[in-house]
Amino acid sequence: MSTETFEFQVEARQLLQLMIHSVYSNKDVFLRELVSNASDALDKLRLATLRDDSLDADTSDLHVEIEIDKDARTLIVRDNGIGMSYDEVTQLIGTIAHSGTATFLKELREAQDAAGAEGLIGQFGVGFYSSFMVADEVTLITRRAGEAHGTRWSSQGEGTYTLETVDEAPQGTSVILHLKPTDSENQLHDYTSTWKVKEIVKRYSDFITWPVRLMPEKRDAADTEAAGDAEDAEAAPASASEPETLNSMKALWARPRDEVSDDEYHELYKHISHDWREPLETVRLQAEGTFEYQALLFVPSHAPHDLFTQGYQRGLQLYVKRVFIMDDCEALLPPYLRFVKGVVDAQDLSLNVSREILQQDRQIRMMQRRLTKKVLATVTDMRKANPERYGTFWREFGAVLKEGLITDSDNRDALLTAASFATTHDADEPTTLKAYVERMKDGQDDIYYATGESRQSIESSPHMEAFGAKGVEVLLLTDPVDEVWVEAVGEYEGKRLRSIAKGTVDLGDDKDEETGAEKEKQTEEYAGLLGWMTEHLADDVKEVRLSARLTVSPACVVSDSDDLTPALENMYRAMGQEVPQTKRILELNPEHQLVKALRQAHTQRTDHTELAETAELLHTLAVLAEGGQPKDAGRFVKLVTDRLERTL
């Protein structure tokens, strides 16, 4: 078979350039990536043979091998796992399949400085390509288990790679790195040092459940003495003839808690999550009894950029008695905890278990319930013990957790206890519902909230005026999901959750007899204007009435208690549902000069043309004030321009 040369896909080329001229100082991680890929390939082969007896593959001694040749300056990472077919090599190695990589590259281009770039590289596992941080040529020879021929891929990383079919290739994959010259000042980067390689494997890959073996070195005995490589000689004086297993292969989740260091947990997290940053929390759970399992879960420190996209792959790996069964096992946690990563190892499941079976399984459901409670309890504990860390958590994952308030009524209380919300009470510190209730004033029966795009837009909306003036605390909800969960939850500790932009507002004044009488008088005075305006604006509003929530603005629009809010309407429409336009209510501030003048004009005049325009303007201004759009922007501009002209 002939050798063919191909060009890397554009993104792949960019990524390679980055690796070659790496700004990333921790080059050691290339070995972790290769060992991690090899370990995955072994998992896949074992699973494939479990599922398919007829697969012609040798699984008698599955392992990873590392071989160093100091003279040739090569480092080989070899596995006898699943391997790749010719087409798979083209797809998986020549292109970048990761959905996150494009985002990564974009952010990287936008990163201003080297430190920013390094931080970004740290956030995205770059896998196989990281070999080019240390190698000037990489060759991969692979044969898919069950296939007759192998494939040889080779590249110097500069734009092109070659591919050829080879007759003889062992089952699995060998990655052969020709190492760049070691820079003499920095011996740290000498990957032909067995000491260095051992140290890296121990540090990053100790928990890998397959043996990672270092092969005896290929070099003359004379060389060893002459080279005076003291470290190597000391570490393993007789290492020349036998392969040495470098990792302990102990599943971390099966080891006693106090025997495992945070670093070890974090390395496992990085292996399974492809996130290079430390996790925020590590959660362990051992269930004994009839259905025995161990879980080791991680809460990441950053939300993935695609958390809210439809095809988002959710989290946990499932093992059965230490045998890897599947990635992204969605039956183990509810969708609103889809960001949690980790491993669950069950004792009594069949190795042949499928996703469909898992969804039905009663024991899996019990497991999901227990894991969910454990994660939520961890979040609540974090809030109490480490507010700063909790702050990070809630910023990253609060919005997705709130989905649970809608879908998981069993855990609603636990979720409400774990949750926190921005509030007018404090500009920086969010509050819990419990703390809000404790601060409620005498006579306040409800928990008030406002929804909107941002804290700022809510705070400047007219709906807030009376609450601000009277010092009544309002929760400021800015996630799209907020409108939905407040409806679903309805109340907390017997206190209703009430939108400040819905229904009528009663902040306690009417209990005062004098103001009650005053109000009544006002209502009578305004009856004519309100009736006329209601009729005149009938296309846009269902009612015009006096307001108790305004102190500064002349008018605002509000929703009826049972109506959909504009944001919800938009949301349903975005989801493709047909929703009729709900008319809203226009409220006027009877203490405002403009409104007073309007009332006078209405009682005095018979020709109401100009008055009608004013009413229309007032309505549009109210819509604008809450961040809405005028129905007819052109007409609005014209009316305002005319008015301004007349003032000059």
Binding site for ligand ADP (CB under 6 A): 33, 37-38, 41, 79, 81-84, 92, 125, 127-128, 173, 274
The residue among 81 and 304 lying less far from ligand ADP, judged by its C-beta, is 81
Cβ 81 to ligand ADP, closest distance in Å? 5
The residue among 41 and 318 lying less far from ligand ADP, judged by its C-beta, is 41
Tell me the C-alpha distance between 648 and 644, whole Å. 7
The residue among 149 and 536 lying less far from ligand ADP, judged by its C-beta, is 149
Tokens of 255: 């080891």
The residue among 84 and 105 lying less far from ligand ADP, judged by its C-beta, is 84
Cβ 472 to ligand ADP, closest distance in Å? 52
Residue 345, Cβ density class (10 Å: 0-12 exposed, 13-18 middle, ≥19 buried): buried
Are the C-beta atoms of 402 and 481 separated by less than 8 Å?
yes
DSSP 333-345: S-GGGTT-EEEEE
Tell me the C-alpha distance between 626 and 566, whole Å. 11
The residue among 81 and 452 lying less far from ligand ADP, judged by its C-beta, is 81
Residues 14/17/18/19 CA torsion (nearest 10 deg): 120
Cβ 43 to ligand ADP, closest distance in Å? 10
Are the C-beta atoms of 47 and 325 separated by less than 8 Å?
yes
Provide the 10 A C-beta neighbour count for residue 266.
Answer: 15
- Run of H or E including 598: helix 593-604
Cβ 367 to ligand ADP, closest distance in Å? 27
The residue among 149 and 495 lying less far from ligand ADP, judged by its C-beta, is 149
Cβ 124 to ligand ADP, closest distance in Å? 9
Question: Which of 272, 199, 183, 209 minimizes the C-alpha distance to 231?
Answer: 199
The residue among 83 and 334 lying less far from ligand ADP, judged by its C-beta, is 83
Cβ 551 to ligand ADP, closest distance in Å? 58
470: left (phi over 0), alpha (psi -120 to 50) or beta: alpha
Cβ 101 to ligand ADP, closest distance in Å? 9
Question: Which of 187, 184, 178 minimizes the C-alpha distance to 157?
Answer: 178
The residue among 127 and 300 lying less far from ligand ADP, judged by its C-beta, is 127
Cβ 37 to ligand ADP, closest distance in Å? 3
| Secondary structure letter of residue 465 according to DSSP | H
The residue among 45 and 320 lying less far from ligand ADP, judged by its C-beta, is 45
Tell me the C-alpha distance between 410 and 414, whole Å. 9
Angle between helices 609-625 and 633-647 (to 10 degrees): 120
Are the C-beta atoms of 179 and 191 separated by less than 8 Å?
yes
Sign of the Cα torsion 272, 275, 277, 280 reads negative
Cβ 92 to ligand ADP, closest distance in Å? 3
Question: Which of 573, 567, 622, 587 minimizes the C-alpha distance to 503?
Answer: 587
Nearest residue (beta carbon) to ligand ADP: 127
